[in-house]
């Protein structure tokens, strides 16, 4: 079984500052992938960044980077230079690679509010 | 390239009724997954269809059923609606021949309210 834990129900940050959203995971799969999604109030899940369990380097996508610490089973999302448009729910998710089918296990999410 | 679309956007039903939600997958994608997202929670996996067959299911009762059509679009059917079925229903499409991590592309969701 896979489990994702996001312990921060809400985070506040000022515009242009960096923010870290926490995510820890648990899985017995030797190979897995970790995802972060952004969900604005409209409801659509927007893919942000992906980290494979065997990737040697931390993933980066523009202002998003994933701080992957495999031994600690953590995959924190770092958003640099926050913008007002970053205000949304953020979900960490995991996909096991050994399942007969691919699906995502999500955490409960963190609400990020960016203030001017 | 068109993205994932879902219909309807919103729906209101009463307890005991039946509902059908629809999803059109992204062009070239042959796999559709459905998720239920209750208020304040993360999405939960309902089931997945690959080439018109259900090939995985989460912890949902049999009154949640689905179909996938030859064009890879999909339906989610829920019978005997209960108040707890009120949620945002998300459809996601992916391709087994796509990137190494089989990224799932989500639609905008259908918000179902059961009264």
- β partners of residue B47: B34, B57
Q: Which pLDDT band, with edges at 50, 70 and 90, does B101 fall under?
A: low
Residue A50 is given by DSSP the state E
| Average pLDDT over every residue of B64-92 | 96
| Average pLDDT, rounded, for chain B | 91
Nearest CA in chain B to A111: B40
**How does residue B102 score in pLDDT terms, banded at 50, 70 and 90?**
low
CA distance B100 to A100: 15
Residue of chain B with shortest Cα separation from A106? B42
Residue B96: is its pLDDT beyond 80?
A: no
What are the chain A neighbours of B109 within 8 Å (beta carbons)?
A: 43-44
Distance CA B115, CA B107 (A): 25
Block residue for tokens 């999410």: A109
Q: Note whether A116 contacts B: Cβ–Cβ < 8 A.
A: no
**What is the distance in angstroms between the Cα of A45 and the nearest Cα belonging to chain B?**
6
The answer to whether B57 and B42 are in contact (CB under 8 A) is: no
CB contact (8 A) between residue A33 and residue B92: no
DSSP-assigned states of every residue in B36-95:
EE-TTS--EEEEEEETTEEEEE-S--TTEEEEE-TTS-EEEEE-S--GGG-EEEEEEEE-
Task: State whether residue A52 sits within 8 Å of chain B by CB.
Answer: yes
Task: Give A103's contacts in chain B (Cβ within 8 Å).
Answer: 33, 45, 48, 56, 58
* pLDDT, position B97: 53
- CA–CA distance from B82 to each of B10, B12, B16, B78 (Å)? 17, 12, 7, 10
Beta strands in A40-87 (DSSP E): 46-52, 60-61, 64-69, 74-79
What digits encode the pLDDT tens for the residues B19-39?
A: 999 999 988 888 899 999 999
Structure tokens at B79: 């019978």
Q: What is the dihedral of CA A78, A79, A80, A86, to 10 degrees?
A: -170
Measure A72 CA to nearest chain B CA, in Å. Answer: 22
Do B56 and A103 lie within an 8 Å CB cutoff? Answer: yes
Is the Cβ pair B101, A52 closer than 8 Å? yes
Confidence at B99, pLDDT banded by 50, 70, 90: very low
Interface test with B, best of A1, A38, A40, A44 (most B CBs within 10 A): A44
**Which residue's structure tokens are 């993933």?**
A59
Q: What is the nearest CA distance from A14 to chain B, expressed in angstroms? A: 24
Instruction: Give the pLDDT band of residue A101 (cuts 50, 70, 90).
Output: low
Closest residue to B109, CB basis, from A43, A91, A95: A43
Per the listing, tokens 């997958």 go with B25
pLDDT at A102 over 80: no
Q: Report angle CA B74, B78, B79 to the nearest 5 degrees.
A: 140
Place of tokens 């489990």: A3
Is there a contact between A35 and A47 (Cβ–Cβ < 8 Å)? yes
Rounded mean pLDDT of chain A?
93
pLDDT-based confidence at residue B100 (cuts at 50, 70, 90): very low
Section B88-96 average pLDDT: 89
Q: Which of A37-51, A86-100, B42-56, B77-91 has the highest mean pLDDT?
A: B77-91
Q: Which residues contact B90 (CB under 8 A, 6 or more apart)?
A: A43, A45, B6, B34, B35, B36, B37, B43, B106, B107, B109
Q: Which residues of B touch A37 (CB under 8 A)?
A: 106
Q: Any CB–CB contact under 8 A between A47 and chain B? A: yes
Mean pLDDT score, A29-52: 92
């Amino acid at each position: 079984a896979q489990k994702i834990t996001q312990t921060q129900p809400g985070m506040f940050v000022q515009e242009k500052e960096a923010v870290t959203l926490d995510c820890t995971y648990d899985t017995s799969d030797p190979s897995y992938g970790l995802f972060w999604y952004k969900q604005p109030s409209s409801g659509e899940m927007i893919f942000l960044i992906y980290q494979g369990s065997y990737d040697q380097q931390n993933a980066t996508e523009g202002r998003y980077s994933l701080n992957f610490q495999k031994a600690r089973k953590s995959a924190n999302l770092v958003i640099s230079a926050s913008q007002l448009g970053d205000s949304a729910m953020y979900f960490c998710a995991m996909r096991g690679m050994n399942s007969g089918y691919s699906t995502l296990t999500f955490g409960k999410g963190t609400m990020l509010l960016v203030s001017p | 390239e068109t993205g994932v679309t879902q219909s309807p956007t919103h729906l209101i039903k009463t307890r005991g009724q039946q509902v059908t939600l629809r999803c059109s997958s992204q062009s070239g994608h042959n796999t559709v997954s459905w998720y239920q997202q209750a208020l304040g929670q993360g999405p939960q996996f309902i089931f997945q269809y690959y080439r018109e067959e259900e090939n995985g299911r989460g912890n949902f009762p049999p009154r949640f059923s689905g179909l996938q059509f030859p064009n890879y679009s999909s339906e989610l059917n829920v019978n005997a609606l209960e108040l707890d079925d009120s949620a945002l229903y998300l459809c996601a499409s992916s391709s087994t021949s796509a990137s190494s991590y089989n990224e799932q592309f989500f639609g905008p969701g259908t918000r179902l309210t059961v009264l």
